[in-house]
């Protein structure tokens, strides 16, 4: 049901039930199996299957954090490797399809990235770079279904995990700066639009903070670095 092309079956029935049961601990005995099944779908031929896999993975990881010992660390590391290979390379990044309903591979992947930061805090710097690679990836689709905000929220949540140095908190912006180096005269390509939209959203998240967690400890320096990148297209910024 989680790979169904019918959004009523996939979203309203299968995912809603899975998320509730996982969160309540009713599926603790099969959590590792659920995670394995989810990451196997990153190579599924149908986009709705690939796009909903990270949502299930997010639920499993959140439960693993809430119930220590429910998932072996080796399993979480195995899932991270599969997720890291899929997230920046997914080509179908549409938020919505009139037939399939919500797809949101970028937004759902962002939710999973934030969950990985909680389950595997040692991967925080890598997860930030992964988000940077996602926003700068070649794309035909411009974010129009709040994908930029979901990705910005995920970056904010990763930055909130304690223990990041200022260098780690800002280092991922080097990926963005390098991607923009070749920019010049002409229309803005979709990937660059997506990058600028995400950085604008992130700046707002850093200034205002998140309802759950507040403002990251390195928010000021990250926001200033983000503003520096945004001055490339927005030369009028102070």
Tokens of 52: 């909903």
- pLDDT for the residue 227: 97
Neighbours of 233 (CB within 10 A): 15
Distance CA 56, CA 69 (A): 19
Please tell me whether residue 162 adopts helix, strand or coil conformation: coil
183 pLDDT band (50/70/90 cuts)? confident
Which of 144, 145, 152 has its CA nearest to residue 110? 152
Q: At what angle do helices 47-66 and 31-40 cross, to 10 degrees?
A: 150
Please tell me what DSSP assigns to residue 126.
H
Residues 125-155: pLDDT tens digits? 999 999 999 999 999 999 999 999 999 999 9
Structure tokens belonging to residue 89: 């390379």
What's the pLDDT tens digit per position in 184-221?
788 999 999 999 999 999 999 999 999 999 999 999 99
pTM equals 0.96
Using CB atoms within 10 A of its CB, is residue 41 exposed (0-12), middle (13-18) or buried (19+)?
buried
Look at residue 101 and give its three-state secondary structure. strand
Find the angle CA(87)-CA(106)-CA(12) to the nearest 5 degrees. Answer: 115
């Amino acid at each position: 049901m989680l790979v169904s092309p019918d959004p009523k079956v996939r979203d309203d029935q299968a995912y809603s039930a899975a998320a509730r049961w996982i969160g309540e601990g009713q599926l603790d005995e099969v959590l590792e199996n659920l995670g394995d099944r989810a990451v196997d779908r990153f190579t599924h031929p149908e986009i709705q299957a690939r796009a909903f896999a990270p949502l299930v993975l997010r639920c499993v990881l959140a439960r693993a954090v809430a119930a220590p010992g429910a998932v072996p660390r080796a399993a979480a590391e195995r899932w991270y490797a599969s997720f890291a290979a899929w997230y920046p390379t997914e080509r179908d990044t549409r938020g919505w399809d009139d037939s399939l309903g919500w797809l949101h591979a970028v937004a759902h992947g962002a939710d999973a990235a934030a969950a990985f930061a909680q389950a595997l805090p040692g991967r925080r710097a890598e997860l930030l770079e992964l988000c940077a690679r996602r926003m700068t990836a070649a794309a035909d689709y411009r974010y129009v279904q709040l994908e930029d905000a979901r990705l910005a929220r995920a970056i904010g949540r990763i930055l909130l995990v304690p223990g990041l140095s200022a260098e780690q908190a800002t280092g991922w912006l080097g990926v963005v700066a390098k991607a923009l180096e070749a920019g010049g005269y002409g229309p803005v390509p979709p990937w660059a639009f997506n990058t600028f939209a995400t950085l604008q959203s992130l700046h707002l998240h850093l200034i205002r903070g998140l309802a759950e967690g507040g403002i990251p400890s390195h928010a000021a320096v990250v926001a200033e670095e983000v503003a520096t990148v945004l001055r490339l297209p927005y030369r009028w910024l102070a």
